[in-house]
Amino acid sequence: MTDNSFRNDRRRLLRGALMGAAAAPIGYMGVRGSNALAQDMPKLAEDDPQAIALNYVHDATEKDDMRESDAVCANCRLYLGSRDDEWGGCTAFPGKAVNTNGWCSAWVRASS
Ligand code: SF4
């Protein structure tokens, strides 16, 4: 490999990394914005394979043996809905609405 091709490869790699970093907030805004349509989204079914994989339930109390006592979708960092909504989007389940009082094993406490 010549010095020139090494520099070109490095430049291409850096350009790709910068473009990826620039696109990340746009993707995030798209996910956040999609919650405006949460009421139109289909509700995540508890028997959905992805829901089963993450132990999702509409009623968090069904997983008391697995979760922190106050952990529910409403106080999860991945929840995109308002705490006042019964259903809202979730970044763990794109395109599906989860119940505000639900829970899954991907739960992460939202900063207050
Ligand atoms: S990631 Fe959070 S908001 Fe999404 S289903 Fe799991 S607990 Fe609920």
Domain positions in the chain: 3-99
Ligand 1 pocket: which of 91, 96, 104 to mutate (most atoms <8 Å of CB)? 104
Can you tell me the distance from the alpha carbon of 102 to that of 59, in angstroms, rounded to the nearest whole number?
A: 5
| Burial (Cβ within 10 Å: 0-12, 13-18, ≥19) of residue 34 | middle
The residue that leads in pLDDT, 64 or 8, is 64
Q: What is the pLDDT of residue 104?
A: 98
In CATH terms, is domain 3-99 a member of 3.30.479.30?
no
Is residue 83 very low, low, confident or very high in pLDDT (cuts 50, 70, 90)? confident
Q: Is 78 in the pocket of ligand 1 (CB under 6 A)?
A: yes
What percentage of the chain exceeds 70 in pLDDT? 66
Q: Is 90 in the pocket of ligand 1 (CB under 6 A)?
A: yes
Q: What is the pLDDT of residue 2?
A: 55
The answer to whether residues 87 and 97 touch, using CB atoms and an 8 Å cutoff, is yes
CA nearest to 92, candidates 103, 37, 59, 64 = 103
Q: Does pLDDT of 28 surpass 50?
A: no
pLDDT tens digits along 32-75: 554 556 678 999 999 999 999 999 999 999 999 999 999 999 99
